[in-house]
Chains A and B, each alone.
Chain A
Amino acid sequence: MNPVPLIALVGNPNAGKSALFNALTGARQKVGNYPGVTVERHAGRMALPDGRPVELLDLPGAYSLDPSSPDEAVTRDVLIGKQEGERLPDAIIVVVDASNLDNHLRFTLQLIALGLPIVVALNMIDLAERDGLKLDYLALEGELGVPVVPTVAVRKRGLDQLRERLGEVVREGATRIEKGAGVQHDIVVLQRRARQIALAATVSETAGRRWTHRIDAVALHPVAGPVLLLTLLFVMFQAVFAWSEAPIGWIETLMGWLSGAVGGALPQGFIRSFLVDGLIAGVGAVVVFLPQILILFTFILVLEASGYMVRAAFLMDRLMASVGLSGRAFIPLLSSFACAVPGIMATRTISDEKERLTTILIAPLTTCSARLPVYTIVIGAVIPNASVLPGVGMQGLVLFGLYVLGVIGAFLAALLLRRTVTKGATSGFMMEMPKYQAPRLRDVALGLLQRAEIFLKRAGTTIALTVAILWVLASYPVAGPGQKQSEVSIAGHIASGIEVVVKPIGFNHDIALALLPAMAAREAAVAAIGTVYAVDDPDGDRGQDRIRSQIGARWSLPTALAFLMWFVFAPQCISTIAVTRRETNGWKWPAFMIGYLFALAYVAAGLTFWTATAMGL
């Protein structure tokens, strides 16, 4: 049996391609990866009017078939049948912004020249009309020689007609084209032809409303712009803490109920202890951070969908240029505050190779949300809950300081790297600034759902497994009377080995034990410490309270501060290292990253410990 027809969805960035993809496929989407590259593969199913199913493939946005970034390279390679792990599509839907025909038609012409069956979705036709642009679809169809369907993806208008025309070009039993024609490269010729066609298809044009420019007058203003950006960032980080309190409480209640139910249903013994103290306590310690991560991603998705993110990049360009980067690097770095993995993946839109590499190497220095559990617990345990100024707490101030330290570290690292290992000509900054638009709730929700899935999958697999292994290692052999479980066990012995190395910077046995599982995921450090204290003291308080009180009792202040400092710099996460390896095609750069970050972490933690001890803290 033949596989279902594969339809590629292609278009310029900001043509509304993803909205159309969401509208056509609904929630029936699959996110994967192309082999060898970290570009995400988004695919979904839909049915043609005659009931035939087709697979719809959402390709990364591109300006042409001459790629200037890894993202655009995937788009080209799929369309010429050269992408590993992907067959040549049976047809193409080109998404074109109706109010930007001059530009988007150039890419369309290049795609038509490939020779694959094609349908043009003339998208955002409502906005074009509102801006005073009247188009003649039939004239456009005549000029291009392929079907043209006006659509409004976000309002689901024109979708039936689009499916119908697609059904006509994807005929049953039609001879499959095995190989596309060559790529037309002469951009000037294509550009001029595109302008002619756009002119021929435009019936009338009046000066439209220029509200995007009016917003930009504020958003890009030399004073008001940065103030607005800082305010937004402040609200974002504030929200991460303020809005997450209640949902975190719910999750904790749920986990407490779960461990109570499991504990009550099982007899005292190995299985119960493993499930309640090991698995539920460990995974629970991580899952409670889901709300904070989702809030952070909500902001990032909304900033991106509204078109503001590019303005933020614009405002940051001057500052980024001073350390050898460009405003474009700001977007992946901001995403890295949620998690360095999508942050590093977002660097694939940076065309300059050296700049991209630098951004990847410094991304782990921005404070990702996985550090939050560690920071919050340790700060809660050792920093007094006092007020420094009215409304400004000491704990909050320390947390803010750790974030700032990460940013300063990232900037200094970029400055140094750009003068040494990633030396090169300063890269440029050239970016399309999309029109502002209200983000679609549905698109943001879908993006959040995918992030939540990835996070929970990680908590359910990597973290659960790490915690399970650690629990077993920490529980056996069983300590005799007068002995401490965390020292007698296998894990205890491994930790004693690590302790030799980290003792000079003030780390104790518990920390040495937590460092290893933290490599699987930073949050696992909290889970690990939780597990250790649970096996040492199975009858004490539960959950975060136990961890907090134990840290307060067992760690000195200099040790706790050194531990925090370690987490600001250390490359404590295998996922980040793995994504760096994939993204840089080899072990050289991840090895370099591990080396420089560990060295930085060791020195920073050491200096903190020694200084704090000398000050008599």
Chain B
Amino acid sequence: MNLATAIPLTTALARLTPLRPGTVASVDWKSLTAPEARRLRELGLDEGVEVELIKGSGILGGPVACRIGRMTVALRRHVAGAIHVSPLA
């Protein structure tokens, strides 16, 4: 594995262009509380899963809606910010 694929170019899920799917490259699990991390896993989030932003946070900083796998999920912005996504090849 060379350096270029080991450190791919990623974007935080919260800042993704809506309706442009990508795959989860890494998740900053440490910035989340244990219950947050656990529920996020239960909602199907994992490295390698396909995700897509459906509705961004907006100017007031509300929650985001995104697709994780085949499921639509509402997340607070800081959680969506901990999920790093690389664009679909």
A residues at B contact (CB < 8 Å): 63-64, 66, 68, 99-103, 106, 187-188, 191-192, 195, 212-213, 216-217, 220-222, 310, 313-315, 317-318, 327, 351, 425, 428-435
Least Cβ distance of A594 to chain B in Å?
31
Within 8 A of A (CB), among B60-75: 60-63, 65, 67, 69-75
Are A318's CB and B65's CB within 8 A?
A: no
- Which residues of chain B come closer than 8 Å to A351, judged between CB atoms? 35, 39
Are B46's CB and A68's CB within 8 A?
A: no
With A430-B76, A432-B73 already in contact, the answer to whether A102 and B44 are too (CB < 8 A) is yes
With A100-B70, A102-B69 already in contact, the answer to whether A213 and B54 are too (CB < 8 A) is yes
Please, which residue of chain A has its CB at the minimum distance from the CB of B42? A63
Q: Taking the complex as formed, is B20 at the interface, i.e. its CB lies under 8 A from any CB of chain A?
A: no
Contacting residue for A428 out of B41, B65, B79, CB 8 A: B79
Q: Taking the complex as formed, is B9 at the interface, i.e. its CB lies under 8 A from any CB of chain A?
A: no
- Which residues of chain A come closer than 8 Å to B70, judged between CB atoms? 99-103
Bound state CA distance, A512 and B21, in angstroms?
Answer: 65
Least Cβ distance of A219 to chain B in Å?
9
- A sample of 10 cross-chain residue pairs with beta-carbon separation below 8 angstroms, ordered by A number, consists of A68-B35, A102-B44, A191-B41, A213-B72, A220-B54, A221-B55, A317-B62, A317-B74, A432-B74, A433-B72
- Which residues of chain B come closer than 8 Å to A431, judged between CB atoms? 73-74
With A66-B38, A318-B63 already in contact, the answer to whether A191 and B44 are too (CB < 8 A) is yes
Please, which residue of chain B has its CB at the minimum distance from the CB of A430? B39
- Which residues of chain B come closer than 8 Å to A314, judged between CB atoms? 62-63, 65, 74
Are B38's CB and A187's CB within 8 A?
A: yes
With A68-B38, A432-B43 already in contact, the answer to whether A220 and B55 are too (CB < 8 A) is yes
Are B61's CB and A318's CB within 8 A?
A: yes
- Which residues of chain B come closer than 8 Å to A220, judged between CB atoms? 54-55, 65
Total contacting residues, chain B, CB less than 8 A: 32
Are B60's CB and A68's CB within 8 A?
A: no
- Which residues of chain A come closer than 8 Å to B35, judged between CB atoms? 68, 351, 428
Bound state CA distance, A81 and B61, in angstroms?
Answer: 44
Q: Taking the complex as formed, is B36 at the interface, i.e. its CB lies under 8 A from any CB of chain A?
A: yes
A-B contact count (CB 8 A): 102
With A68-B38, A188-B46, A351-B35 already in contact, the answer to whether A433 and B73 are too (CB < 8 A) is yes
Please, which residue of chain B has its CB at the minimum distance from the CB of A107? B42
Bound state CA distance, A318 and B44, in angstroms?
Answer: 24
The interface centre, meaning the residue of A310, A351, A429 with most chain B CB atoms within 10 A of its CB, is A429
Are B41's CB and A432's CB within 8 A?
A: no
Bound state CA distance, A429 and B49, in angstroms?
Answer: 21
Are B75's CB and A430's CB within 8 A?
A: yes
- Which residues of chain A come closer than 8 Å to B79, judged between CB atoms? 428, 430
Please, which residue of chain B has its CB at the minimum distance from the CB of A187? B41
Are B71's CB and A432's CB within 8 A?
A: yes
Bound state CA distance, A433 and B19, in angstroms?
Answer: 16
Interface string of B17-41 (1 = CB under 8 A from A): 0010000000000000101101111
Please, which residue of chain A has its CB at the minimum distance from the CB of B36? A428
Are B74's CB and A212's CB within 8 A?
A: no
With A220-B55, A351-B35 already in contact, the answer to whether A212 and B72 are too (CB < 8 A) is yes
Bound state CA distance, A429 and B40, in angstroms?
Answer: 11
With A191-B44, A220-B55, A318-B63 already in contact, the answer to whether A433 and B39 are too (CB < 8 A) is no
Bound state CA distance, A187 and B39, in angstroms?
Answer: 10
Please, which residue of chain B has its CB at the minimum distance from the CB of A328? B74
- Which residues of chain B come closer than 8 Å to A192, judged between CB atoms? 46
- Which residues of chain A come closer than 8 Å to B44, judged between CB atoms? 102-103, 106, 191
Please, which residue of chain B has its CB at the minimum distance from the CB of A326? B76
Are A433's CB and B65's CB within 8 A?
A: yes
